[in-house]
Amino acid sequence: MQVQSMHFKQTASAKLNDAVLQTALKKSKGKFVDGRALGVAQIDNWEDIRTYAAALRDRVIDNLDAYLLEFERNAIRRGAEVHWAETAEEANAIVLGIAQRNGVKTITKSKSMVTEEIALNDVLIDAGIRVMETDLGEYILQLAGEPPSHIVAPAVHKSKEQVAELFMHAHHKPLLTEIPAMTREAREQLRGHFLGADMGISGANFVIAETGTTLTVTNEGNADLVTTLPRIHCVVTGIEKVIPTMEDFATLIRLLPRSAIGQSIANYLTLTTGVKAPGETDGPEQMHIVLVDAGRTKLVGSDMKDMLRCIRCGACMNHCPVYQNVGGHAYGWVYPGPMGSVLTPTYVGIEKAGDLPNAATFCGECQVVCPVKIPLPDLMRKLRERQFDMKLRPFGERFAISVWGFFVQRPSLYAFATRLGARFAAMLGGKGKLIHSLPGIDGWTDGRDMPAPEGKTFRELYAAKLALRKGNP
């Protein structure tokens, strides 16, 4: 997927005026937020589990090389081939090479954010291989020629009517109006692809070091069919997905579905360990696991390393007021919401991320709901600082911040400036005591009125209170 993050402001403005999108976002907001709240309420020690999970993920990242090598040994022992890809290009070349060596003509895919990240589908299709997404949301978007707008519910921006029209034209069948009928029609279309695929490609929510197992969490069961029916199964996953033991997975799975959509457990947990053994009827003849770096090792030991804890639940975007109003496509790459505001600059380069580190209100809700306690606002703040130091922000913005920094380092001067500013703002409010336009921040006042300040500043009131205390001990 081509990076379009530099156009966040323009795209976000367009999305705010998209009536269909706004209706879809309003519907999903309650579903995800309320669902998580109910799911979390089922566990008395939720915060203890979060603390444990955060520490677990930190331990893994601090010893990433050791756990990955352990995983490789155990995966090979069970018949899998493990490939290492430093870049997206290397990962794509590995998967394409596997397909071409084995004469693969058709591929079924289970939902995978990493394959979206490296644009694997485009590479395979350009080579003449037919690729079919089998997750219902991803299937809808493949028909529409669109990227996902959410990491858990990729087609959340689509209305039922839009999907019905899409199916009618793609399937050459009468227009359907009910969701069960539309779902059944999609299943009928996909069934032949499942049965006829030469190769299945999946991602992995986690890979387990002690057993060499890859694990995929779904609600549709398509991952089971993708991983077992084709003669070749290829897993493409990020290196940070490794966890030490099956017991660790049992802990993390208590967090993941509840944080994502409020479910106590996902409908399907697909665990794949090696190729099928002699006498077994299910499973692939070949299993390939591609461990993708693509910028991840740059985060190890850096001030962004906390982001490697991420388990891709989507809770941060579900609760983000910015995402709730503009949707995922505005962020311009694979990862939307607060997670995208950190991951995109770190993976593709901060110079290509534009306004993403600023695409936040800093309300802090993303950190509150993150199941592994990633301090997302702090990470975005560090990226803002980095943009400032690299002179990537507009001159006017950098000048204003420099002026502000000059004043706040000089308390007396700052106190004088705030008093002067408050008086000026009060004058702008006029008789109605509302500011309709504020110089320098017209973008804020174009769509809202601001109450004009009244009375004394906080510093003046606090100084008066201190003086009163000294006079009346």
pLDDT at 472: 59
Distance from C-alpha of 82 to C-alpha of 72, rounded to nearest angstrom: 6
CATH of domain 43-292: 3.40.50.10420
**Neighbour count for residue 136 (Cβ, 10 Å):** 20
Query: Is the per-residue pLDDT at 303 higher than 80?
Result: yes
- Work out whether strand 434-435 and strand 232-238 pair parallel, antiparallel, or are unpaired: unpaired
Q: What is the pLDDT of residue 187?
A: 94
CA–CA gap between residue 357 and residue 386 (Å, rounded): 10
Question: Hey, what are 91's tokens?
Answer: 């990962």
Amino acid symbol at 209: A
| 358-414 pLDDT per residue, tens | 999 999 999 999 999 999 999 999 999 999 888 888 888 888 889 888 988 998 898
| pLDDT, position 419 | 87
Q: Is the alpha carbon torsion for 139, 144, 146, 149 positive or negative?
A: negative
CA neighbor of 124 nearest in space, from 194, 215, 199? 199
Question: Which amino acid would we find at residue 416?
Answer: F
Please report where in the chains the tokens 């009375």 appear, as a residue: 455
Mean pLDDT of the chain: 92
Q: What is the pLDDT of residue 53?
A: 97
Task: Give the H/E segment covering residue 390.
Answer: none
Give the contacts of 59 (CB within 8 A, at least 6 positions apart). Answer: 244
Q: How far is CA 66 from CA 19, 61, 187, 210, 305, in A?
A: 50, 10, 42, 11, 17
Q: Is residue 232 a contact partner of residue 198, using CB atoms and an 8 Å limit?
A: yes
Q: pLDDT digit string (tens) for 378-387?
A: 999 999 999 9
Per DSSP, the residues of 212-251 read TEEEEEESSSHHHHHHHSSSEEEEEEEGGGEES-HHHHHH
Predicted confidence (pLDDT) at residue 241 exceeds the cutoff of 90? yes
Mean pLDDT of 441-469: 82
Which pLDDT score is estimated for 170?
95
Alpha carbon distances (Å) from 194 to 39, 42, 289: 33, 37, 20
The yes-or-no verdict on residue 163 having pLDDT over 90 is: yes
Taking residues 264-281, what's their average pLDDT?
A: 90
Do 96 and 125 touch, CB atoms closer than 8 A?
A: no
pLDDT score at 455: 83
Has residue 321 got a pLDDT over 60?
A: yes
Percent of the chain with pLDDT over 70: 99
- Indicate whether 436 pLDDT > 70: yes
Total length of the chain: 473
With 60 as the cut, is the pLDDT of residue 473 above it?
A: no
- CATH 3.40.50.10420 domain range(s) in the chain: 43-292
Note whether 110 and 134 are within 8 A (CB). Answer: yes
Query: Could you give the CA distance from residue 43 to residue 52 in angstroms, rounded to a whole number?
Result: 14
Q: Which of 164, 169, 133 is nearest to 148 (CA)?
A: 133
Give, as one character, the DSSP assignment of residue 289: E
Kind and range of the H or E element at 451?
strand 450-451
Over residues 42-91, the pLDDT tens digits come to: 999 999 999 999 999 999 999 999 999 999 999 999 999 999 999 999 99
One-character DSSP codes across 60-123: HHHTHHHHHHHHHHHHHHTT-EEEEESSHHHHHHHHHHHHHHTT--EEEE---HHHHHHTHHHH
Question: To 5 degrees, how large is the angle CA 419–CA 424–CA 430?
Answer: 130
Q: What is the pLDDT of residues 11-28, one digit of tens each?
A: 999 999 999 899 988 888
Query: pTM of the prediction?
Result: 0.90
Tokens representing 223 are: 């991952």
Residues 340-345, mean pLDDT to the nearest whole number: 96
Run of H or E including 359: none
- One DSSP character per residue, 32-48 reads HHHHHHHHHHT-TTHHH
Percent share of the chain, pLDDT over 90: 74
The DSSP bridge partners found for residue 236 are 290
